[in-house]
Amino acid sequence: MKSLTEYLTFNTRQRKELVNITRNLDEIIIASKIQEGLCLVSAMHITAAIWVNDEEEGLKVDMMEWLELLAPVKKDYRHHRTGEDNADAHLKRTLLHHQVILPITKGKLDLGPWEQVFYAEFDGQRKKRVIVKILGE
């Protein structure tokens, strides 16, 4: 079995942002030369997530609005007693989850016809990382 580990780095312009990383993953898989296997994609920060869905602007806005309804920005989170102001970002990350495992078939991501992979940032404007680990033959 072969493996390859790469890191993607982000410094988003906005505090909350969705970044399509599908092409980045395609390039890493090509470099790995793995034809059949798995691709683990994991946000390495507790205020970011990985999301697989459609690259459609309305859906992305709807997702961010939905997350805001479930975990709104507000001042009275207990986490803020530590001096932080990003409790909502931690909760939003929990709702979307921090990582995904994606299939590789014939040397390519084996996604559904509309699926794309996104880095979801909820406390950005500073350097963040994503680990990409490819395993297979």
pTM (two decimals) = 0.94
- Mean pLDDT, the chain, integer: 96
Q: Nearest to residue 15, comparing CAs of 124, 88, 128, 91?
A: 124
Q: What is the CB-side half-sphere exposure of residue 17 using CA atoms within 13 A?
A: 14
Tokens of 83: 């001096």
- HSE-up of 69 (CA within 13 Å, CB side)? 6
Average pLDDT over residues 112-124: 97
Residues 58-108: tens digit of each pLDDT: 999 999 999 999 999 999 999 999 999 999 999 999 999 999 999 999 999
Reduced to 3 states, what is the DSSP secondary structure of residue 52?
strand
* Domain regions of the chain by residue span: 2-136
Predicted confidence at residue 10, as pLDDT, reads 87
pLDDT confidence tier of residue 126, bands split at 50, 70 and 90: confident
Give domain 2-136's CATH superfamily: YjbQ-like (2.60.120.460)
Q: Average pLDDT of 3-7?
A: 98
Q: What percent of the chain has pLDDT over 70?
A: 100
Quickly list DSSP for 8-43.
Answer: EEE--SSSSEEEE-HHHHHHHHHHHT-SSEEEEEEE
